[in-house]
Every structure is written in structure tokens, then in C-alpha cells.
Structure 1
């Protein structure tokens, strides 16, 4: 526990936090990102202030200044994240009573939505990539949605051909000017994947390719030559630079005129493909190695084709009659009997025409009136015929009673 009576400057506490808390809890690359934010932004602007001097307004002014200087909103967001984490640590050490970084409002930040490929675009990429030296690594990246450090960190001991299991256990990253094998991003990133037929074929071909490279390199081969050896290596057995996988990916895109996305967005492509195939989100979470299903939802996008499918269902449900009439109209030049009927009754009823719903309260009385009229005419004719016959009988009786005879 730190002494609360020490007058900590923010710059001093940031160094303490980076050296003690971040080194112990975070991955090396995370520490590196935090250190850049501290060195370039937090220390120059707020470093001379004591922890107790920091105020909400002071921090809000800091955010606005960064934006006014043209700093990206993502960098401003990272600065708030680092400052907030530092002050939270100070609260746990009982040096502060509140976290002004959390209380301060910053301009709204909405990250750009990630891009992804459709199934057709992904297939086109895989076809174009087959001649690339790193095709096998890219194929596994597409199939499993692996991070680039994960696919380059696979060792032969992680591939179980007998049990058909592919284990993701470590990753390769460049840290401090050297390639290092480090832990995965989160505990959830440690996972076992089924060794699919495509993956098995790709890995068998990669093993043969690596063995051939080892024979050519001879004594210059730097790999271990055992099951601990990395699956994907250079011609001399060294780990592959993650940036080289990135470069191969974009070289293939540019040379074949494919739509440009980021290498990491192949994970979004994989997640969206699983969503389109109705894979449960919890299964996708386990496959991609996310710590929560809410993160997985960020990797699943609604494609235009699925929007079309959904809206076509709505269209068919609500506009089926109009669609049927439109199709019938396209097959014949003469109007349909239903259309003729509408034209006949519209001038009489004043009811709506076209695609609007017909007023059944107007249509039904008109149909009943026509029937009533025919019945009424028949009834009148019957009544008049009956009256005429009765009249004739009455006249006959009258003439006979008076003794008069009528001319024939």
C-alpha cells in the first residue's frame, strides 16, 4: 500500500502504474501502447499536476485540446482509457476518492464499423492466394478466424492429427525489436479447434514444404527440427514476421483487384459467415476465442443479401396479392377479371383503386344491392302478373252479374 501523504505528481504515478500494474497484468504489446499514450499525451499535458489537483474540467479541457490539435478520436479515447485506469489504481491505493477521468465527458466517439468479405469475395481471395508462399497460413486464418499472431504461433505439438484437434496456445509478436512467443490475448483465446479436412490437408502440405526447405538450408536451418518447431517458418527456420503476413495479404488483394479490407477483418468475415449459416453466437464466441458473446456480436455483420432475404419475406407476407397481380399483368396485355371488376365498381362506389386496401364496407353493400335489384324486379313482375290475373277474374264476375255481354 502506498503512503497517502505523499504528494504524487501524475507523471510519477503514471510511471509507477506502468512499471508495477501494467507489467504484471498486461501483455507486452498492451504495455507498449499504454506507454506511447503516456509519453506523448498524458505527461506533456497533465504530468506536472498532482493527483489531488486533477479536476473534471481540467480533464475535459485536455480532451478538447487533443481534438483541436488534430489528434484522432481513437487516440483521445485511448488517452481517456489509460488515464481512467491509472486513477482507478490510485483509488485502490487510497490515494484518491474519485476518478475524474470517468466523470469527465469527452466528445462522442464512434469507431468505424469493420469491413468484411462476402462468401464470393473470400472464395476469390483463396483462389488468388494459392501461389503465395504464405497461402497455408492465410487459409487457416480464413477457416478459423485466427489472429495473425495466433496462426504464426502454432507449433507442430499443437497439431494432433490422430485426434483431429488443432490447439491454439501461444502467439508470435514483435516486441522491443525482436520476435517473441507470448501468451494469447485473453484466457478465452486458449482454445481447441476441430482439425477439419481442409486444415489437415493444408498442414500436411506445409509439413512437406518445411521439410524440403530444411533439406535445402542444411546447416543454416535454425529450427529445432522437433515437435516444438513452429509450423510456419522462413526458409531458414526462423519465425515469420507478422507484418510479412500482412504484406502478403494486401499484395494478393492489390494484384487481383479485390476489395480492400484489413487482415484482422478476416475474423469479421469468419464471424459473419457463421452468423449467415445460423451458427449460435455462443459457438462462434468459442471458435473465435472471445471473452464474451457481446464482443462476438461486434464481429457479426448483417450482409446486404440477408437484409434482402429478410425484407423479401416481409414483402411476400404483406404484399402477396399485389405481387401476384403484378406478375399476372406482366403475362397478359388485357386486364384481369379482378381488375375489370374493380373498374366496374369504382365509379359507382367511389372506393379506392390501385394497391390500396379496398373498403369492404363499400364493396359489400354494392354487391347486395345488385342482387336485391334483380330480386325486386322478379317480385314486381310476379306481383303485377298476379294483380292482372285477379283483375281479369273480377271483371268477368262483374259483367255476368250485370247481365251485360262483352264483345270478344
Structure 2
């Protein structure tokens, strides 16, 4: 007699085509129970899949109500998740990646059967077909984000896209302008109609879209503030005005006199009949095409022999110059509108050989202030016996001298030396560098310390030499003084 199966155990049987099929009732994401079927070429294979579904159900992990193909789920994700909640530029990028890469390569795969080896082979194939590492990283990012949403909706149990390994993406090295190059560019752009826009890029490190999206009402001349609230972008052939990139991008900046006068001069040159809300417009009052703005910037550089950089590199330039001027990183972060200070430090602030040379020179000066002077004085200390003293007496004298040198050096290191520190700030007029001036002042300090230490050593040795010549010192200082007076 055949054994009767209990509820929830499931069943397996052979189909007419020879394949094996398993069926079991499990919980779905909608909270209802659904009969799910599994298939295999052998009974053991069908039972393994059936056991996996029952174990997943026992752990409280529901199955999806619908058997999604990856392509169908990506369409749902784009229309119902990305489009209503992300900026138009973000949606355009995700839609392009899905349409050109993910759907043709993986769209027919059941979303529940995606595995790390399958996705790794697809990524490797993209690299073998000649696609750049940067592009494949973007493909992985879009797929990982979509499957993370599927994981939250319990359509899949895990996100295998996180396990894809790709070659390290080496970011392009940005070489920002120096202060000399920025000054040359602003001088060359002084007669340009959009000089005020270029000045805002260099002075505040604004993004291109933030400058072109400025409204007239964003310039508050009463409070001397500049309000950054929106940006202008071309997406899918259409110029769109939208909010800034992040919440941190919504910021208020001080309107300094240089920028205020440049904006006023630009507004006076604009025809009064043109009033479309935007601060910077074309000669006919329409929004400025971002690509044309970039062309004007690059043309100015080429005509005046200035090193051509990307217009976004002006943002790196502003961050680096603020760092070199000693502005705290937190203030630079707020000026640039970054969400985290690590972005400001690691991506936008750059070093230079001049800044590194100055830093190492300052460390060199600090290391050579005390130690070499003490060593030189110890080398000059007398080592021969005095008054016919033997070797033990010579070592005793040497120890006494070393103690005197240590006391004198310790005293002078905390003493105040009367050298005018305002001489350090005369480098602007004399043409000397700060490192040269610091070296000169440090040399004077070493000479003065050396003279004072030698003087203290000489006086102390003279007293000890007299005491040694007169015999052991008495216990009372007054008795020793009276003894010398009697002699």
C-alpha cells in the first residue's frame, strides 16, 4: 500500500514527454498560497528543486507572484521606479543601458535563475567585445540597482550582480589650473559677453548647469547672497530646467564685490525687452546651449595660449586653490555643494609639487632646530682632565658639562627670543619665499642659542673649576662663600 503524503510535502511525477515535474504549495509575496511547479530531466533533479522551494518557504521567504523575465522586470523598474523618482538625466542613462546592453544580452533570462557565474560571463563578454571598463562598470551599476529593488520586493532572494568582478576603474587624472592660469584666463575673458558666467565658475566652483540655470531672482544684492537652486541640462535633445543634483547642492553663497560688479555689468548690457527668468541668456533671450558655452570657453583658451581643460575642471581648480589658501575642508565642501567632505578631499582637491616642497621644507626646518645644535655643543665639550685629575675625574667633568648643556638647551627652548616675527610677512614685497625667510630666521635663532649656551657653560665651568681647585665644597653655601672671602 502506497504511503499517503502529508500536506505541504509536495509531489513529483513523470510527464508524458519523459521529463519529471514537481509541485508544492508555497507562500507568495501577496500573502497567498500558490502551487509552484519545478522541472528536471531526472526525478532526483526535480526533487532537489522541490526541496529548495520547501526550505525557502519554511524560512518565511515568499516566492514572486509572477514569473518575471529580466527584460520585463527592467521595463517595470524604469517606468514605475526610476522615472517618477529620479532626475531626467538619470532616467535617460538607465534607459539607454537597459535598451542597448541588458535586454539584448540577458532580457530573456528568468530573473529568479540569474546567478553570479552567468552575469560574470556576460560582463567578460562585453569587455572582450571592446567595450571600455568604465562602460561595463555602468552596466553593472544599473543591473545591481535594478536587482536590489527586486530583492526588496522579494522577487529574487539575492542580488547576484553584486558578485561581478571587473578590472579596477582608473579615474582620469585632472590637472587643475594654477592661480596664474586662472588669472590669465579671467583677464582674457574680461571683454567677453559671458565674463560674469566664467567668473562664477572659477570663483565658486559652480557646475556648468548651475551657472546656466541661475535665475535673476537668485542674485540677492541686498543681502549680497547667491542662491543655487536649479540647473539647466540638455536631455534627449531637450533643454530642461530642474533641481540641483543633491540636497547639499541647494546652497547660499556670499556674493563678493568682484562677482556682484560683473553681474551688474552683464545685466546692463542685456536688452531690457528680454525677460525669460534666466540670468544668462543668448542675444535673443533664449537659454544658452551648454555645448555652445563649453565651445566659447575652449575658444577663449586657445586664442590666448592658455592650457585647455574641461570646463568641469574649473570646479577642481576652485577646490584646490581654496585648500592652498588654508580654507577648512568643511567650508570648501559647503561652497562646492558636496554631500560628504570625503568627495571634496579625495576627488576635487589636488596637490602640486610646489605645495609638497613647501611642506617638506617646513618639516626640515623643524627637525634641524634643536638636535644639531645640542650635538655640536656636546662635540665641543672639553674631555681632558683638569687640574691633574685622572680618567674618572675626566668622565665626571664630561658628565657635568653635558648636564649643563642639557639644562641650558631646555631653558632656551622655552624662552622667548626677541626676533621680530613680522619679518616673515615681508616676503610679498621682497620677492623671497616663505621657506627662505623661515630658514633665515631659524639661522639667527640657532646663532643666538649657541652664544647663550656657550656663555652659560663657560660661567658654570668657571665656578666648578674654582670649587675643584679649593677642595670639597662645604655643606652650607654661606660657609663656602666665607671661605673664599677669607682667602
TM-score w.r.t. structure 1 length?
0.75
> For the residues of structure 2 that align with 1:112 and 1:93, how far apart are their CA atoms?
37
Q: CA deviation at 1:375?
A: 4.6
Residue pairs, 1:115-130, within 5 angstroms? 115-130=175-190
Map of 2:278 onto structure 1: 230
User: Partners of 1:116 and 1:233 in 2: how far apart?
Assistant: 28
Indicate conservation of the 8 Å contact 1:10/1:48, yes or no.
yes
> Which residue number corresponds to residue 274 of structure 1?
322
Q: Is the 8 A contact 1:206 1:231 kept in 2?
A: no
What is the CA–CA distance in structure 2 between the aligned matches of 1:319 and 1:58, rounded to whole Å? Answer: 62
Higher fraction of helix? 1
Cα distance between partner residues in 2 of 1:256 and 1:320: 47
How far off is 1:87 after superposition?
Answer: 0.3
What residue number does 2:50 align with?
none
1:17-69 CA-partner distances (Å, limit 9, x unpaired): 11111112211111111112112222222121111121111112222222222
1:188 and 1:116 map into 2 onto residues whose CA distance is 23
CA–CA separation in structure 1 for the residues paired with 2:92 and 2:388: 95
- Determine whether 1:68 maps to 2:128: yes
What secondary structure, in the 3-state scheme, does the structure 1 residue paired with 2:113 have?
coil
Q: Who is 1:154 aligned against?
A: 214
Query: Which of 105, 120, 141 in structure 1 is aligned with 2:165?
Result: 105
The verdict on how the C-alpha distance between 1:70 and 1:375 changes in structure 2, with shifts beyond 3 A counting, is farther
CA deviation digits over 1:298-335, x for unaligned, max 9?
211122221111111122234569999xxxxxxxxxxx
Contact 2:193–2:266 at 8 Å: present in 1 too?
no
**1:10 and 2:70 matched:** yes
Q: Which residue of 1 aligns with 2:478?
A: none
C-alpha separation in 2, matches of 1:67 and 1:321: 59
How many Å separate the matches in 2 of 1:104 and 1:20?
26
Corresponding residue for residue 137 of structure 1:
197
Give the structure 2 partner of residue 243 of structure 1.
Answer: 291
Q: In the TM superposition, what is the alpha-carbon distance from 1:100 to its structure 2 partner?
A: 0.6
Q: Is the 8 A contact 1:74 1:111 kept in 2?
A: no
Residue 64 and residue 320 in structure 1: after superposition, are their counterparts in 2 closer, same or farther (change >3 A)? farther
C-alpha distance in 2, partners of 1:92/1:140? Answer: 43
TM-score normalised by structure 2 residue count = 0.63
1:343-382 equivalences under 5 Å are 368=383, 371-372=384-385, 375=388
**Aligned counterpart, 2:301:** 253
When the two structures are aligned, how many residues end up with a matched partner?
Answer: 328
RCO (CA 8 Å, sep 6+): is it higher in 1 or 2?
A: 1
Would you say 1:263 and 2:323 are equivalent positions? Answer: no
RMSD: 2.6
Counterparts of 2:349 and 2:189, CA distance in 1: 24
1:270 Cα deviation from its structure 2 partner: 0.7
Counterpart for residue 114 of structure 1:
174
| Residues 204-235 of structure 1 deviation map (CA, whole Å, 9 limit, x = unaligned) | 01111113xx56xxxxx5x44xxxx2111111
Runs of 5+ in structure 2 lacking a partner?
1-28, 31-62, 391-487
Distance 1:138 1:250 in 2: 11
Q: Deviations over 1:265-299 (max 9, x none)?
A: 11111111111112111111111111111222121
Candidates 358, 361, 364, aligned match of 1:315: 364
Q: In the alignment, does 2:260 pair up with 1:200?
A: yes
SS at match of 2:117: helix
> By how many angstroms is 1:104 displaced?
2.1
